[in-house]
Amino acid sequence: MAKNTLFDDYLTEQLKDPEFKAGFDAESARLESAVALMNERERAGLTQRELAQRADVPQSTIARIEHGQNTSIDTMSKIAFALGEKLKVEFT
């Protein structure tokens, strides 16, 4: 019978591998940005299309960012401005 492993235990073990950790950290950063944008857009009561119009970007750009794909600082700044926010970039 196979031994059950808790996901947290599995992840902790995998994160010991530097290559895995680098990929995990990069993906985590993209997803944090995606969630942050989606939360702010929804807080503002806007659809992707409405935000895209305000930011003068294609709706597909908003969708791609919200799905964790990379984008430029310029694009994120335009979106932040359209939401009445400032873009803050940090190194932690």
Percent of the chain with pLDDT over 90: 80
Q: Domain of 50: which CATH number?
A: 1.10.260.40
Structural domain containing residue 56: 7-82
| pLDDT for res 90 | 85
pTM of whole model > 0.85?
Answer: no
pLDDT digits (tens, 9 = 90+) for 1-44: 567 779 999 999 999 999 999 999 988 988 998 999 999 999 99
Specify if 68 maps to a domain.
yes
Q: Could you tell me where the beta strands, DSSP code E, fall in 1-92?
A: none
Quote the CA–CA distance of 25 and 27 in Å, as a whole number.
5
Quote the CA–CA distance of 71 and 49 in Å, as a whole number.
17
**How many domains, the chain?**
1
Specify if 72 maps to a domain.
yes
Specify if 39 maps to a domain.
yes
